[in-house]
A = this chain, B = another copy of it.
Amino acid sequence: MPKLRKKTQEKRIKPELGGGFRDYGSGDAILRQRLLEKIHKTFEDFGFDPMETPAVERTEVLLGGEKESGKIIFNVRGSKEKKSDLSLRFDLTVPLARFLAVNPEIPKPFKRYQIGNVWRGESPQAGRYREFLQADLDIAGASSTDADAEIIAVIWKTFKNLGLSKFIIKINNRKVLNGLPQYAGFPEKKLPELLRLVDKKEKIGEEALKKELKKVFKEKVAAKIWEIIAISGDTKTRLIKARETLRGNAAAEEGINELIEIARNLNTAGVLPENWEIDYSVARGLGYYTGSVFETYLTDAKEFGSVASGGRYDFLTVPFTGQKLPTVGGSIGVDRLYAVFEKLNLLKKKQTSVKVLILNLLPELKKEYLELAQVMRAANINTSFYLGDDRAFQAQLAYAVKKEIPYVVILGENESKRSTVTVKNLVTREQKEIPKEKIVEYFKR
């Protein structure tokens, strides 16, 4: 187009990404796809069905769940519009609550999963991203702790299916923390601040948290808080200790009883004890959790923070319907998990899924090349036909090597006369001439 050609003289546009955004080239995308397949396969084994909501929602709806999130939201505005009431979703939970409010007829329990991006409109900073891929699963309309335990069991099974073994799911119940004002003797209104503080424990460490608690609370109060959130030992010990210490504290007792039921279910469902523990310091920052809460850390890569988290949020539909709907869910941070796989070298990255490159050597043999490609593709062998401008044999071979395609198929004059093809393995450098009609068989061995 003449219009575009003229641009050579025009000012160049920097081919840059916006701050906090990134590309995933083929090597990364292939691996991420493999992770996602395992994740959604596991979710479906457990009876969760997919669901999709749009990336853009009414801002009012997004803030309905939790006002604090407004600070980190991305507003979206059509270029002809003066003002905007739309924003990009910052999680997949508030959109689910909106969906449930609008579709009250859906049979409950409703078990759904959604895999999609979420966006955070924070200022870009080195190493902090503003677009994340999350895999969420939720059970709406189930108040039994069987549902809480199932969410945790699915997360566990997903991690196992991803080949991970060194991880720990730390489980708590908000009700235990809700019992702390009464137990430790501080005003109810200071609870949110306490939740924010203990939420930082994995990041800043026990000693730093201890200090921070002492800054905010009186020494005696801080000590009583510490007494609970630092309870250690095996699962049984942790449950018994907390129950004894908090006896008579209604909220906390309810929370501990729920933890006992969840622990029992996890054992029955075969969730390995080495992969989960009760931790009374787990709080989850978000305001909407009402019961169980959990975070998941990779023991070899704690610096990545929690890679899967969730909990029970029975009141999230209240702003929309005025009625509570008992719901529990979990969310896997796929991008974060992917970063862990990369850092720990847990999966071998490959640049391409192409198995075979058919070289494009002689124009008069193009018909044979295309027919060959057709046969291979019909047999589900990922096959590329060389389409580059450099038609020299060496150039095409070099291309296959650079792309890390494992095999090339050579069909020249001699092969054509003999109705054969030469298959060259670019890893072992071996090559072999085989009858043309045996080609699928050769690759299907």
Contacts and interface: CB of A to CB of B under 8 A. Distances in A.
Contacts of A157: 377
Interface stretch (A25-33, A216-224, A236-244, A295-303): A25-33
B18 A385 contact: no
A424 interface: no
Contact of A79 (B51, B75, B354, B385): B75
A84 to B, nearest CB: 8
Interface in A346-367: 351-354, 357, 360, 366-367
B29 A384 contact: no
A180 to B, nearest CB: 14
Nearest to A404: B107
A46 B15 contact: no
A108 interface: yes
A153 to B, nearest CB: 9
Interface string A158-193: 000000000000000010000000000000100000
A48 to B, nearest CB: 8
Contacts of A380: 45
A1 B97 CA distance: 16
A235 interface: no
A373 B367 CA distance: 53
Contacts of A150: 385, 387
Given A15-B101, A74-B78, A353 B23 contact: no
Interface in A95-123: 97-99, 101-103, 106-109, 111-112, 117, 119, 121-123
Contacts of A416: none
Given A4-B315, A12-B322, A370-B269, A76 B79 contact: no
Interface stretch (A135-143, A199-207, A433-441): A135-143
Contacts of A8: 318, 322
Contacts of A50: 26, 29-30, 33
B52 A29 contact: yes
A287 B324 CA distance: 52
A53 interface: yes
A370 B268 contact: yes
Interface stretch (A54-62, A226-234, A252-260, A273-281): A54-62
**Max chain B Cβ within 10 angstroms of own Cβ: one of A13, A21, A269:** A13
**Interface residues of chain A: helix, strand, loop or mixed (majority):** mixed
Contact of A130 (B56, B99, B143): B56
Interface residues of A, number: 130
A318 B5 contact: yes
B385 A146 contact: yes
Contact of A29 (B18, B49, B371): B49
Given A17-B57, A54-B17, A112-B26, A287 B1 contact: yes
Contacts of A141: 388-389
A80 B123 contact: yes
A383 interface: yes
Nearest to A270: B374
Contacts of A121: 77-81
A58 B17 contact: yes
A431 interface: no
Given A25-B51, A55-B119, A74-B76, 11 more contacts: A15-B321, A16-B58, A25-B99, A75-B77, A109-B386, A139-B387, A142-B389, A144-B389, A146-B387, A150-B387, A268-B366
Interface of A: 1-5, 7-8, 10, 12-18, 21-26, 28-30, 32-33, 44-47, 49-58, 60-61, 64, 70-81, 85-86, 88, 97-99, 101-103, 106-109, 111-112, 117, 119, 121-123, 130-131, 139, 141-144, 146-147, 150, 157, 174, 188, 265, 268-270, 287-290, 315-316, 318-322, 326, 351-354, 357, 360, 366-367, 370-371, 373-374, 377, 380-389, 399, 402-403
7 contacts: A15-B98, A24-B53, A26-B112, A47-B383, A47-B384, A70-B79, A76-B76
